[in-house]
Structure 1
Amino acid sequence: MAVAEKARQRAETLRRDIETHNYRYYVLDAPTIPDAEYDKLFGELVELERAHPELLTPDSPTQRVGGMPLEEFPQVTHRTPMLSLNNAFSDEDVIGFD
């Protein structure tokens, strides 16, 4: 199997898995994997789409942010704004954020 075909299949699998996890997290409020594992899957898809731009699709989870919050969650105003949505996977990442 050609590398491009393997990449296409992996991207499809990642998109499907990420969409399943998004639904469980955002709609059902019942995630089945830890955030760090989700971030690894998402990061793999980002890198795959970066390496193979032809695999990038408008409906890819990498092309949108989050999901709709559940209606039972009240709206709140944060005292301190979120300044970054980047992930930190190591002490160096955290230090680099500061």
Structure 2
Amino acid sequence: MEIKHEAQETKGAFVAYIDGQRAGDMTYSVAGTDKIIIDHTGVEEAFNGKGVGKAILLEGVIPYVREKNLKVLPLCPFASAMFKKMHAEIGDVLV
């Protein structure tokens, strides 16, 4: 799985590809200079149940926000659930 970061000035997305096919994405909005708001996670039907959303969060979003010293507000239900489930591992980046 390959995860690419597509950033614009006030929003962005982490997009997962499997064998060259778009498998899913996690989108966010920039909130000020120190945080992002995760607002959506989507996985293509063919890739449901393959851990795409979790991989995007753990391999894309978390390393990015730690590197940039940002905090995360997970409004997306999937992202919010993952932060609750994995609070010990990734809770340090929560707002």
> Does TM, scored on the shorter chain, surpass 0.5?
no
For CA contacts below 8 A with separation 6 or more, give which structure has more relative contact order.
Answer: 1
Structure richer in helix, relative to its length: 1
Provide TM-score, normalisation by structure 1: 0.31
Structure richer in strand, relative to its length: 2
Find the structure with the greater CA-based Rg. Answer: 1
